[in-house]
A and B are shown apart, each in its own frame.
Chain A
Amino acid sequence: MTSTAVEAQPDSSMVEVHGIEKYFGHNHVLRGVDLEVHRREAVMIIGRSGSGKTTLLRCINFLEEPTAGWVEVDGLRVDADPLHARSRSHREQIRQLRMRAGMLFQDFNLFPHMTAVQNCIEAPMRVSGLSRAEAVELADRYLARVGLIDKRDEHPSRLSGGQKQRVAIARALCMEPKVLMFDEPTSALDPELIGEVLGVMEDLAHEGTTMVVVTHEMHFAREAADRVIFMDDGLIVEEGPPEQVLNDPHDDRTRQFLRRFLDQDIADEEHSHPTA
């Protein structure tokens, strides 16, 4: 691997995003985003819906082909090539990139025709070339880590939303990715199930997993983020340590966004404890 020299420096970058632009038709969704994520860093991206944060995440692993710019994950750089997006060499590069960058989705996307453990071993067996025994061992280890080893033989239909997302996390971990990307991982969950997913994510962050998380959970960002990024209208408007961005934002748009969220939070609290 070419990355051994880089790995020696703990502070070097794991993900580098340069000049990413994305058009949907004539709609300019990302307007030249630069982002660097260091090894062992947990970065949380916040912002209004429509600000481009999900699109940015999907451009990093090329689920959306960027219109311009490039992405580098752990030493592998892939340039946006929208005119030859379907060429074989470009597809293969993207596939290599995706193996380094695990992704979690809002609605989990577990494979419904497979049990939890089958969900976890499919890619390691067919993509990483592990034997079934090796893949199962790996899957059991990560299922245990997300606290679901006793559900290993259940189909997704028999799991709660929170359990599904935790299996999805185990499935992503089984590819031993260099970075985990979360796209609003708790947005589809009932309120009482959010905590178990955030708990697993917080553990991962504390253990030094490199993470990029798009989220609306401000408390979680405050607790678990090393850096918070605020996006608006296809650009990164403000970034910094969570205390600074969340408590003392410099930009007007960040302030506005957070004020609205804070109001909502207070309203929620009053709602959930009517007798307190």
Chain B
Amino acid sequence: MSQSQQAQIAFEAEHPTSIVDRIEAAQDRARLSFRVQFALVWLFIITLILVGLYAGGRIEPGWLAKQAPYILGGIWITILVSVASIALALVLALLGALGRISSNPMVYAVASFYVSLVRGTPLLVQIFIIYFALPQVGLVLPPIPSGIIALGFNYGAYMTEIFRAGIQAVPRGQREAAQALGMPEPHIFRRIVLPQAVRIVIPAVGNEFVAMIKDSSLVSVITVQELLWRARQVGTRDARSIQAFLVAALVYWILTIIFSFFQERLERRMARSER
């Protein structure tokens, strides 16, 4: 037993409720009080908004009860578009990142061109090109595939740079250790570098997915019947835009909160299991 342990035992014998316990209790109280105040402020702001809207005659429960289910039906399209787009983006980003770290000048040039072009033009313009301009050269795509392709291409370019940075963030020694064991290069990438790069980029990719849920609303301009499109339909028709858009906004908000919750848990679990 070390000297410091002995000293602590002696100290605790003299002081029945040790200072350590009292500090801990005080910290617990402070944490709890912080959380309570946080929840109260949120509740207050939300109540204020709702009461204000209701008092101004802007919220009609009857209309909401009748129209909300139609708007909420768009959630599934929103989720479908977001998930499919992020899947496409992940594939493009991996290919793009491989190109951006390639020593082959042609591969590098193609990947760099893709990233530069997509990041240098507005997402809305890209959506219009794919849906309205491509048919003029004979390529007609339905709204949902058009939206998925546009979003996937756009996010793929941004995530290319995330993936590239993630791959380059894997310590050089990892490569060298694998090389020293005689592993062939493709194997080193697939089994040693990529799994570590994926862990590094998970938080950033999660943020991209949250952004994607919100940006998926842009495809409403090409008649994809997702949340925002439906909200605008009924809002404009019945002259109830405030309520309709409020419902849509609330749903986007809740979707991102739910996703962020799972993302945080995933990150915590990864942080615990490795490294």
A residues with a Cβ closer than 8 A to B are 61, 63, 86, 91, 95-96, 98-99, 101-103, 105, 107, 109-113, 122-123, 126-127, 155, 157, 168, 171-172, 175
Contact = CB atoms under 8 A, between A and B. Distances in A.
Nearest to B177: A109
Given A155-B273, A157-B275, A61 B183 contact: no
Contacts of B103: 86
A111 B191 CA distance: 10
B176 A105 contact: yes
Q: Which interface residue of A91, A103, A123 has the most chain B CB atoms within 10 A?
A: A123
Contacts of B275: 112, 155, 157
B62 interface: no
Interface in B155-178: 171, 173-174, 176-178
A172 B173 contact: no
By DSSP majority rule, is chain B's interface helix, strand, loop, or mixed? helix
A95 B182 contact: yes
A155 B270 CA distance: 13
A175 B185 CA distance: 17
A157 B181 contact: no
Interface residues of B, number: 23
A129 B103 CA distance: 29
B198 to A, nearest CB: 9
Contact of B183 (A96, A110, A113, A127): A127
A112 B274 contact: yes
Given A103-B180, A113-B274, A172-B181, 20 more contacts: A63-B180, A86-B103, A95-B184, A98-B181, A98-B182, A101-B180, A105-B176, A107-B173, A109-B171, A109-B173, A111-B177, A111-B178, A112-B196, A126-B183, A126-B191, A127-B183, A127-B187, A155-B273, A172-B180, A175-B181
Query: What are the 9 tightest A-B residue pairs by CB atom distance, in nearest-first order?
Result: A109-B177, A99-B182, A123-B181, A103-B180, A109-B173, A98-B182, A157-B275, A127-B182, A113-B195
